[in-house]
Chain A
Amino acid sequence: MFARSMYSRLMKTVNRTDNLYLTPEEQNELLDYARSLPRRFEAARLIEAREQTIVAQCYERLRDLYPQFEHYHKDGWDKGYRDTQLVLRYNVQAMLMDDPDIAVDKLFGWLRTLLAGLDLTPQLVRDTFTCLRDACAAQLPAEAQALLEPHLNRTIEVLADFPEPALAAV
C-alpha cells in the first residue's frame, strides 16, 4: 500500500513532482533511463541465457572454499544453488528498473534472516555472492556486467550484514 508506488524511475519522479510540471532536468533523467532500456533488456536476455552456467561456476568455486559445508546441511549445495538463482533473478529485476531497493525489499531482508537462521557465517554469504559476481564478470560482456555489478555489490553488502552465529555451521 505504501511502497508499491515507490519503484522505478518513473514512479519516483511522479511522486517527487506531485502537483508540479516536470523540469527539463527531470524530463531528461527519464529520457536517459528510457534510452537505456534496450541495453538493460539485452543484458537481462544474456543473463537469462547464461544463468545456469553462471551459477554453476559460482558453486564450483564455493565447493572448493567450503569442503565441509554439506556435512552440516543436507542437500545444502542444491538449495544454495536454487537460492542463488533466485538472488540473480531479483538482481536482474533491480537492474531493469534501475532500482536497487527492489531486490532488498522483495527478497534480501527475508533471505538474510533465513541465512542467519541456518547458522551460516557472514563470510560464507559474502564469498557466495562475490563468487556470483565473479562468475557474472566471466560470463557476461562488459556492458551487461557494468549494468548488473552495482546490484551484485549491494547484494553482498546487504545479505552478509548479520551477526556471527554462536555456533557456525559451514
Chain B
Amino acid sequence: MTTAEVAPGARVVPEQSLMRGNFFAESTYLKTDIAKGTTRNRAGTRIVCLTADFLHGLRRAVGDECGPAAELVFKSCGKKWGALFAKRFEQEMSEFYGKPLQDFMLALFQACLTELFSHHGWGKPNLDLSRHDRGLIVVEVKDAIYAELVGQSDQPVDTLLAGIFAGFFSYLSGQDLDCVQTTCKACGADASRFVLALAARLAPVPAWVQNGKGHEEILGQLAAVPA
C-alpha cells in the first residue's frame, strides 16, 4: 500500500479546501413540504412557481394600466427585485461556499450566476466581461422568459429581466447601473442580449434600439466613449 492509500474501512474525509459542488443542483435545490404547502430552496428561502399564464397576465395588466409607461414600470420593479435577488444570492453563496462572494474567483461567480438564473427559469445567461475595462458588461441570455412567452414583437420584450440585471449588478458593484436590452429572440435574434453600464452612459441606448441600431454597433459606439 502506498502512503496515498487508505486502510479498508477508513473514510477519506474531504480536505477543507475541497470545493463544494453545485448549490443549485436540481436534485437537492428545492424541497416541497406537501403537508404545509411550502417549497423552499436548500438555504430555506421560500420559493413559489409562476406559470406562463400568470406572467402573461402580469404583462397585460401592467400594459393596460400603465400604457406607454409600462416598460418603465417593468424596469423599475425589476431593479428592486434584482437588488433583493442579489442580496439573497450573496448570502446563500457565501454561506454555502464558506467565503464572501467578493472573494469568489470570477469563473465561480459566473458559473453560480448562470445556475441561479437558469434554475429559476429566467433563461440561461452568459456573462461577457471582455469590455469591462470600457465600463460595459454584456449578458447574453438563451431562451429568455418573456421572449418565449410573447412570441413575436418589433421591440425587445424582456424589460423586466433588464431591470433585474440592473438591480442585481448595481447591488453587487455598489454603483447605480442601468441595463438595456439590445437584441431579443421575439424580434428574430438568436438570443436576448443586454448591455449594462452606468445609467447616464446608457441613456441614449433605448432610442438607438428603437431606431434599429444593432447590438455590435451599439457596443462599438458605447465603447468608443471612455468609461
Contact = CB atoms under 8 A, between A and B. Distances in A.
A106 B25 contact: yes
Given A53-B5, A107-B21, A110-B22, A4 B28 contact: yes
Nearest to A51: B12
B110 A114 contact: yes
B4 A50 contact: yes
B31 to A, nearest CB: 7
A21 B130 CA distance: 57
Interface stretch (A26-34, A81-89, A130-138, A148-156): A81-89
Contacts of A89: 14
Contacts of B18: 82, 85-86
Interface residues of B, number: 33
Contact of A50 (B5, B19, B115): B5
Interface string B95-121: 000000000001110111011000000
A7 B114 CA distance: 23
B152 interface: no
Contact of A2 (B4, B22, B26): B26
Nearest to A113: B111
A107 B130 CA distance: 26
A90 interface: yes
Interface string A86-109: 100110000000000010011101
Given A85-B14, A117-B111, 12 more contacts: A2-B30, A4-B26, A48-B6, A49-B6, A82-B17, A82-B19, A105-B27, A106-B21, A110-B22, A110-B115, A113-B111, A114-B111
A56 interface: yes
A118 B39 CA distance: 34
Interface in B116-165: 130
Interface of A: 1-4, 6-7, 45, 48-53, 56, 82-83, 85-86, 89-90, 102, 105-107, 109-111, 113-118, 166
A114 B28 CA distance: 20
Contacts of B107: 113-118
B15 A82 contact: yes
A4 B195 CA distance: 36
A1 B25 CA distance: 11
Interface in B1-51: 2, 4-8, 11-12, 14-15, 17-19, 21-22, 24-28, 30-32, 39
B5 A110 contact: no
A53 B1 CA distance: 11
Contacts of A48: 6, 11-12
B17 A3 contact: no
A6 B26 CA distance: 10
A41 B152 CA distance: 54
B60 to A, nearest CB: 28
Nearest to B5: A49
Given A1-B39, A114-B110, A117-B110, A83 B26 contact: no
A52 B4 contact: yes
